[in-house]
């Protein structure tokens, strides 16, 4: 009886801790926007047909939103965004929008692991002001969600008790003296799982709906994948309660009816495993793309093994005092537990390693993310844990079996330390499950489109007030601080603030607080200029807003300020800035324009046969760029940065200043999702496109004796590389490769509108669908000359073949779309709706917006004839 009441006290304490942790706010965010079309910071000629957003995991349709706000913050009226059939994409359509800067605001909840994500990014439509000061990507600030991690930790402990104790009573300790205590502890575990389930429901409802109300709870329960799994968990939990508590009825000092006891315990172990399965089905494991079933199964075995070990340790600690007087019996219990624990540890290590492969995946992810750091802590704690377990196994059990009673006390102590270490490991595990997996965090960091300059822009909503903070240029030194206040419900500017105060504090350097008082400029826009950000690093900017007859609004922002870094001019770039263009270069000297480089808007750039790069001039014609290199390809990246691939290396131009960033001779440039890839012989160079980013990395192609010929981003966020005539896929920006085994040799690759890979061979165009990982025939080419370029435009395929732009019909026939006497030397698609073709011999550039009508413009190269 005394034991039972002690266990109830323990259960009450646990429940209290659980409930206290609900008090904290549950709302958190991390970015999982994969890509968007139009892309963040895009400058569009007109309203796009739709705003498409793709996420890295399927989203909960009921709880995911996309909205558009205009530059005053007002919501643009539109039907709710539609979620695609696979749950990975959302599409928002609007009516025609007037020119201006718009912010796409999104908030989604992953259907796989229930983590919320939110963010925003600007797009510019028409002749509006540049979006630089509005750039934002909603990326995860890698805050540690303490409340969520605590709930998950408690949940893991309760699961350990629920599964581990019946297993312990079934296979390790059948001694009648321990029966009541083990029964009472199992009962505690059951209550703890019930309490943890309630906490998980509250947590997830807050994540899904942003609030905990009866309707939000009902919605979370009945309209989400989480709800379905939670209800299944509760059903299993009730069955467990009935089976274990009713069937297993130990009376003091007796093991009771043995077959009934056995049935109860087997049912307990199996039902606990079922509950653990609902956990694994709603975990990071459920969010992986490849081999999801295997990864989920490994996660489930990891949980079961953890539960057998940790729950069993609790059993040993509970049983030891009751068997104190009989060391030999205790020794036998220890020996049997050691067998169970050995198997559990082996399983933990194997399944843990496989989970690490799936969730972390690289040394870089392990060492540079919070998730990776938590795994390292776990492994560090595992070493002493294994050491103590070995002492218990090799020394303790043997001495006890030999009748040395003194080892009973030592056993309890060592098992206690072992349990404490295991609970610490569970803290790390709980944290890991509460934050984005390392692989995703790394890919997001590498792939996130950096803002076009270092301006800081963030938005918070507090007490019905939407507060935007923009800090420009966002560097150490003098900055402009713009606070924009809007009514969250109506989007109307708040103009009646009697006081706005910014308190700025460096988070690590002890500088004390400084203050700014922005003044009202217009339309809820309050501006101040100051040099308060005097050191690089993490800052806290606390904004207080006072309004007549209203409660004060208090919001914290956390800008990270890089040091001001004036662009470094290399000696080479300096010489190039002085311009190598000789006025009056003859056309013979620069050659004919042979290659098109689509611009973000307006006319494309041109590259000539002699490797000269020309930009569209302001008053018509094309002007030569001051770059003395044999240019093969160029691309216009984020923030107006121009990249050029040349025989002499890869060059970058910012504000008209060219610098060589690598001597890797590159042929082709691809810019995807904030990253630049310069492809050449045997591999490629990868560079972050951010203006301040200097991270440049050379990566070998899987077939390093073959040319890296083309590189495209698929709808799954992975990339495909054409290497020689083979295609490989990488989910880690080139850190690992999977051969895609294309059905035939491939000449070119591109993507269709759904982000599937199109591979052009000599006789066929095949499609690799990223959602099903399968190849299928897209088009049989039916003979004829090879296709050199391929573009999907207005739902049809256009190829460049023998100097003609041809439309490829469904039966493989070709229809001339544009032909010229001299022959078309290049064809390119420019977002959103233009197909360009270049007729070098006639010095003419033609374009179409519908695939039928072409308009032509003469090409005049300044300094080139
Ligand atoms: C070589 C040793 C181990 C490795 C490499 C490893 C690795 C991992 C990884 C990568 C995860 C996935 C985390 C996530 O979903 O974000 C995980 C989860 C977990 N690990 Fe381990 N682990 C190891 C040992 C252990 C040990 C000794 C314990 C307990 C005593 C443990 C308990 C857990 C638990 C409870 C989870 C959460 C599973 C879930 O909620 O789905 N692990 N582990």
Q: Is the model's pLDDT at 380 over the cut of 90? A: yes
Question: What strands, in cross-sheet order, belong to the sheet with 796-801?
Answer: 789-793, 796-801, 804-808, 814-818
Element (H, E) at 616: strand 613-616
Cα–Cα distance for residue pair 175/135, rounded to 1 Å: 67
What span, in angstroms and rounded, lies between the C-alpha atoms of 90 and 61? 9
- Ligand 1 lined by 299 (C-beta under 6 Å): yes
Among candidates 291, 386, 296, which has minimal Cα distance to 344?
386
Question: Same domain, yes or no, for 174 and 40?
Answer: no
Same-domain status, 126 and 168: no
> Is the model's pLDDT at 711 over the cut of 80?
yes
pLDDT category at 150 given cuts 50, 70, 90 is very high
Q: Is the peptide bond before 38 cis (omega within 30 degrees of 0)?
A: yes
Instruction: Find, among 440, 428, 339, the residue nearest to 379 by Cα.
Output: 428
Give the least confident one: 312-321, 405-414, 450-459, 703-712: 450-459
For residue 349, give the ligand 1 atom closest to its CA: 1
Angle at 831 between CA 746 and CA 786, to 5 degrees: 25
Whether residues 118 and 206 share a domain: the answer is no
For a pLDDT cut of 70, what percent of the chain falls above it? 82
Determine which residue's CA is closest to atom 43 belonging to ligand 1: 352
pLDDT digits 0-9 by tens, 661-670: 888 999 999 8
Clarify whether residues 376 and 485 are in a common domain: no
| Whether the predicted pLDDT of 649 surpasses 70 | yes
Return d(Cα 686, Cα 570) in angstroms, integer. Answer: 20
Helix (H, G, I), strand (E, B) or coil at 528: strand
Based on the fold, state whether residues 189 and 59 are members of the same structural domain: no
Tokens of 168: 């312990």
CA distances from 262 to 176, 237, 335 (A): 13, 19, 21
Any atom of ligand 1 within 6 Å of the Cβ of 280: yes
Taking alpha carbons only, the member of 95, 87, 102 closest to residue 41 is 102
Structural domains of the chain, count: 3
Domain termination site, one of 390, 410, 438: 438
Quick count: other Cβ atoms within 10 Å of Cβ 103?
21
Task: Single out the residue of 686, 641, 644, 700 nearest to residue 667, CA to CA.
Answer: 644
- Give the strand pairing for 666-672 and 642-646: unpaired
Paired with 759 in beta bridges are 749, 766
Whether ligand 1 lies within 6 angstroms of the CB of 178 is answered as no
Candidate from 362-366, 447-451, 535-539, 735-739 with smallest mean pLDDT: 447-451
Beta-carbon contacts of residue 390 (< 8 Å; ≥ 6 apart): none
808 and 789 Cβ atoms separated by less than 8 Å: no
Per-residue pLDDT for 79 more than 60? yes
Looking at the structure, do residues 507 and 377 belong to the same domain, yes or no? no
Residues 206 and 338 in one domain: yes
pLDDT score, position 617? 77
- Tokens representing residue 273 in the block: 């495993």
Query: Would the CA dihedral through 669, 671, 674, 675 be positive or negative?
Result: negative
Whether cis (ω within 30° of 0) applies to the bond prior to 87 is no
pLDDT for res 41 = 61
Best residue among 112, 282, 342, 355 to mutate for probing ligand 1, ranked by most atoms within 8 Å of CB:
355
What pLDDT is attached to residue 645?
A: 94
Instruction: Indicate left, alpha or beta for 30 from its phi (over 0: left) and psi (-120 to 50: alpha).
Output: beta
With respect to residue 114, please indicate whether it lies within any of the assigned structural domains.
Answer: yes
Task: Please give the pLDDT value at position 350.
Answer: 94
> Does one domain contain both 69 and 15?
no
656 inside domain = no
Q: How far is the CA of 153 from the centre of ligand 1 (A)?
A: 12
Strand 43-44 to strand 116-125: parallel, antiparallel, or no bridges (unpaired)? parallel
297 lines ligand 1 (CB under 6 A): no
Give the phi and the psi of residue 379 in degrees, each rounded to 5.
Answer: -70, -35
Q: Is 661 domain-assigned?
A: no
What mean pLDDT is predicted for residues 349-357? 93
* Length reported for the chain: 865
Per-residue pLDDT of 549-583, as tens digits, reads 888 888 999 988 875 433 322 323 333 332 333 33
Q: How confident is the model at residue 5 (pLDDT cuts 50, 70, 90)?
A: very low
Average pLDDT, stretch 30-43?
Answer: 69
Do 432 and 531 share a domain, yes or no? no
Give the residue numbers spanning the domain of 426: 2-26+143-438
pLDDT, residue 864, reads 40
Q: What letter would DSSP give residue 787?
A: P
Cα-to-centroid distance, 371 and ligand 1 (Å): 11
Report the mean per-residue pLDDT for the chain: 79
| Pocket lining: 381 vs ligand 1, CB cutoff 6 Å | no
408 lines ligand 1 (CB under 6 A): no
Residue at 783 is within a domain:
no
CA-nearest of 96, 104, 102, 93 to 128 is 102
Which of 466, 446, 253, 286 lies closest to 358, judged by CA? 286
802: left (phi over 0), alpha (psi -120 to 50) or beta: left
Q: Is the pLDDT of residue 136 over 70?
A: no
Give every CB contact of residue 571 below 8 A, 6+ residues apart in sequence.
Answer: none
Residue 644 pLDDT grade (very low, low, confident, very high; cuts 50, 70, 90): very high
Segment 764-803, tens digit of pLDDT: 999 998 878 889 988 888 777 888 889 888 888 899 988 8
pLDDT value of residue 566:
33
CATH of the domain at 89: 2.60.40.1220
Mean pLDDT, rounded, for 525-532: 80
Residue 305 Cα distances to 365, 711, 757, angstroms: 26, 42, 41
pLDDT of residue 289: 63
**pLDDT tens digits, one per residue of 104-132:** 778 788 777 777 776 666 677 775 443 33
268 and 334 fall within a common domain: yes
d(CA 856, CA 865): 18
Q: Read off the pLDDT of residues 450-489 as tens digits, 9 standing for 90 and up.
A: 443 466 777 788 888 888 888 877 776 677 888 888 887 7
Sorting pLDDT into bands at 50, 70 and 90, what band is 638?
A: low
Give 24 Cα–ligand 1 centroid separation in angstroms.
26
CA–centroid distance, residue 721 to ligand 1 (Å) = 33
DSSP for residue 323: G
**Structure confidence by residue, pLDDT tens digits, 671-695:** 876 678 999 998 998 887 654 445 6
pLDDT digits (tens, 9 = 90+) for 844-863: 888 888 777 777 777 777 65
CA of 234 to the centre of ligand 1 (A): 24
Q: Is the CB of 156 under 6 A from ligand 1?
A: yes
Domain boundary residue, one of 438, 468, 493 = 438
- SS3 (DSSP) at 687: strand
Evaluate whether 802 touches 820 at the Cβ level (below 8 Å): no
Q: Is 649 in the pocket of ligand 1 (CB under 6 A)?
A: no
Q: Is residue 711 part of a domain?
A: no
434 belongs to a structural domain: yes
CA of 138 to the centre of ligand 1 (A): 29
* Structure-token match 């950000």, residue found: 533
Distance 854 CA to ligand 1 centre (A): 60
Quick one: DSSP state of residue 369? S
The answer to whether residue 384 is domain-embedded is: yes
Ligand 1 site, residue 303, Cβ cutoff 6 A: yes
**d(Cα 662, Cα 648) in Å, to the nearest integer?**
9
Q: Judge whether 333 lies within some domain.
A: yes
- Residue 114 sits in the same domain as residue 160: no
What is the CB neighbour count within 10 angstroms for residue 390? 12
Q: Give me the mean pLDDT over the 580-597 stretch.
A: 61
Of residues 255 and 731, more confidence is placed in 731
- Which pair of structure tokens corresponds to residue 74? 């007002």
347 CB less than 6 Å from ligand 1?
no
Q: What is the DSSP string of 349-362?
A: HHHHHHHHHHHT-S
Residues 831-850, buried b or exposed e (16+ Cβ, 10 A)? bbbbbbbbbbebbbbbbbee
Domain boundary among 408, 438, 468: 438
Let me know whether 74 and 116 are in one domain: yes
Task: Look up the CATH number of the domain holding residue 557.
Answer: 2.60.40.1930
Q: Whose CA is nearest to atom 29 of ligand 1?
A: 306
């Amino acid at each position: 009886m005394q034991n039972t009441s002690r266990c109830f006290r323990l259960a009450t304490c646990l429940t209290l801790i659980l409930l206290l942790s609900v008090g904290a706010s549950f709302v958190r965010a991390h970015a999982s926007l994969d890509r968007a079309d139009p892309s963040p910071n895009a400058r569009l000629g007109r309203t796009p047909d739709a705003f498409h957003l793709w996420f890295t995991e399927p989203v909960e349709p009921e709880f995911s939103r996309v909205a558009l706000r205009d530059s005053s913050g007002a919501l643009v009226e539109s039907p709710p965004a539609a979620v695609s059939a696979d749950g990975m994409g959302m599409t928002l359509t609007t009516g025609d929008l007037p020119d201006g800067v718009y912010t796409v605001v999104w908030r989604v909840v992953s259907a796989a692991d229930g983590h919320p994500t939110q963010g925003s990014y600007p797009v510019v439509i028409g002749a509006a002001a540049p979006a630089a000061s509005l750039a934002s990507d909603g990326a995860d600030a890698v805050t540690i969600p303490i409340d969520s991690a605590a709930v998950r930790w408690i949940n893991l402990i309760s699961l350990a008790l629920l599964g581990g104790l019946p297993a312990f009573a079934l296979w390790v300790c059948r001694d009648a003296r321990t029966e009541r205590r083990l029964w009472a502890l199992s009962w505690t575990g059951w209550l703890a799982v019930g309490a943890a389930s309630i906490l998980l429901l509250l947590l997830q409802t807050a994540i899904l709906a942003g609030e905990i109300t009866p309707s939000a709870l009902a919605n979370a329960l009945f309209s989400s994948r989480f709800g379905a799994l939670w209800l299944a968990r509760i059903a299993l939990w009730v069955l467990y309660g009935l089976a274990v508590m009713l069937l297993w009825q130990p009376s003091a000092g007796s093991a009771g009816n043995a077959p009934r006891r056995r049935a109860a315990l087997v049912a307990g172990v199996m039902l606990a495993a079922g509950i653990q399965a609902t956990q694994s089905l709603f975990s990071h494991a459920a969010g992986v793309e490849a081999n999801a079933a295997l990864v989920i199964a490994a996660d489930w075995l990891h949980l079961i093994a953890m539960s057998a070990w940790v729950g069993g340790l609790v059993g040993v600690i509970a049983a030891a005092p009751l068997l104190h007087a009989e060391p030999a019996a205790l020794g036998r219990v220890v020996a049997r537990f050691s067998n169970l624990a050995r198997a559990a540890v082996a399983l933990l290590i194997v399944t843990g390693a496989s989970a690490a492969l799936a969730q972390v995946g690289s040394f870089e992810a392990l060492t540079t993310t919070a998730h990776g750091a938590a795994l390292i802590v776990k492994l560090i704690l595992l070493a002493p844990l294994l050491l103590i377990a070995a002492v218990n196994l090799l020394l303790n059990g043997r001495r006890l079996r030999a009748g040395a009673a003194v080892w009973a006390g030592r056993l309890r102590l060592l098992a206690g330390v072992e349990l404490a270490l295991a609970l610490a490991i569970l803290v790390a595990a709980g944290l890991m499950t509460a934050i984005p997996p390392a692989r995703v965090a790394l890919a997001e960091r590498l792939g996130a489109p950096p803002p076009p300059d270092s301006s800081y822009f963030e938005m918070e909503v507090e007490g019905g007030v939407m507060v935007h903070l923009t800090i420009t240029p966002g560097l150490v030194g003098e900055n402009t601080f713009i606070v924009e206040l809007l009514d969250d419900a109506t989007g109307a500017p708040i103009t009646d603030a009697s006081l706005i105060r910014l308190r700025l504090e460096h988070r690590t350097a002890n500088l004390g607080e400084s203050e700014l008082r922005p003044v009202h400029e217009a339309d809820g826009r309050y501006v101040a200029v100051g040099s308060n950000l005097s050191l690089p690093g993490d800052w806290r900017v606390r904004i207080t807003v006072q309004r007549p007859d209203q409660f004060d609004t208090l919001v914290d922002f956390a800008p990270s300020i890089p040091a001001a870094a004036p662009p470094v001019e290399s000696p080479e770039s300096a010489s190039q800035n002085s311009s190598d263009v000789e006025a009056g270069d003859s056309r013979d000297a620069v050659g004919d324009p042979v290659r098109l480089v689509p611009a973000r808007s307006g006319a494309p750039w041109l590259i000539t046969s002699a490797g000269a790069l020309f930009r569209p001039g302001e008053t018509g014609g094309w002007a030569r760029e001051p770059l003395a290199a044999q240019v093969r390809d160029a691309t216009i990246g984020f923030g107006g940065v121009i990249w050029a691939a040349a025989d002499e290396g890869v060059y970058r131009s910012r504000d008209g200043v060219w610098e060589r960033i690598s001597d890797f001779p590159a042929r082709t440039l691809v810019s995807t999702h904030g990253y630049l890839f310069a492809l050449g012989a045997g591999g490629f160079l990868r560079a972050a496109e951010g203006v301040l980013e200097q991270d440049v990395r050379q990566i070998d192609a899987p077939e390093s004796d073959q040319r890296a010929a083309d590189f495209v981003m698929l709808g799954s966020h992975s990339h495909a590389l054409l290497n020689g005539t083979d295609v490989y896929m990488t989910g880690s920006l080139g850190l690992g490769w999977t051969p895609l085994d294309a059905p035939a040799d491939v000449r070119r690759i591109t993507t269709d509108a759904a982000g599937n890979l199109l591979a052009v061979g000599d006789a066929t165009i095949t499609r690799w669908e990223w959602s099903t990982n399968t190849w299928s025939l897209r088009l049989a080419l039916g003979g004829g000359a090879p296709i050199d370029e391929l573009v999907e435009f207005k739902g049809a395929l256009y190829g460049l073949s023998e100097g003609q732009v041809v439309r490829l019909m469904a039966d493989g026939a070709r229809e001339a779309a544009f032909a010229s006497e001299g022959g078309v030397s290049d064809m390119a698609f420019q977002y959103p709706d233009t197909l360009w073709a270049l007729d070098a011999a006639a010095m003419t550039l033609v374009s179409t917006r519908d695939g039928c009508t072409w308009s032509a413009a003469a090409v005049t190269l300044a300094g080139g004839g």
